Amino acid sequence: QTVVTQEPSFSVSPGGTVTLTCGLNSGSVSTDYYPSWYQVTPGQAPRTLIYSTNTRSSGVPDRFSGSILGDKAALTITGAQADDESDYYCVLFMGRGSRVFGGGTKLTVL
């Protein structure tokens, strides 16, 4: 069974930089998995941040960036702000009829 792994939680200081990762329980994440990233705030619809590994969605500030780091997809937030405190999810394309979300990372800014 495919499991997409994310750090359960992360903490960053205001103005700091944090990198969240998205891996596979077996194998490496590459651009072939078209990783995308979403910010989920309670009571709101998920917000798209990054798609196709490193393309920012419309309106997303450039302090959010995506990449492949080693064998994982990564979301980097540079100059973290208080309203970046949220849950972040990645999702991988596992084939024509399958997508798998990671378990999500709860980001705290303090």
Partner 1 sequence: QVQLVESGGGVVQPGRSLRLSCAASGFIFNTYVMHWVRQAPGEGLEWVAVIWFDGSEEYYADSVKGRFTISRDNSKNTLYLQMNSLRVEDTAVYYCAREAARNWFDPWGQGTLVTVSS
Establish if 56 lies at the interface with partner 1 (CB under 8 A). Answer: no
Tokens for 66, please give them: 């995506």
- Residues 6, 102 contacting (CB under 8 angstroms): yes
Shortest distance, position 101 Cβ to partner 1, whole Å: 4
Query: Which of 63, 65, 76, 100 contacts partner 1 by CB under 8 A?
Result: 100
2/34 Cα distance (integer angstroms): 16
Among 13, 52, 81, 108, binds partner 1 (CB under 8 A): 52
The contact pattern for partner 1, residues 12-51, with x = CB under 8 A and - = no contact, is ---------------------xxxx-x-x---xxx-x--x
- Rounded to a whole number of angstroms, the minimum distance from the CB of residue 58 to partner 1 is 9
Query: Residue 6 CB: number of other CB atoms within 10 A?
Result: 23
SS3 82: helix
Distance CA 23, CA 32 (A): 13
User: To 10 degrees, the CA torsion angle through 62, 85, 11, 26?
Assistant: -70
Work out how close the CB of 14 gets to partner 1 at its nearest, in angstroms, rounded to a whole number: 26
Q: Which residues bind partner 1 (CB under 8 A)?
A: 33-36, 38, 40, 44-46, 48, 51-52, 57, 87, 89, 91-93, 96-104
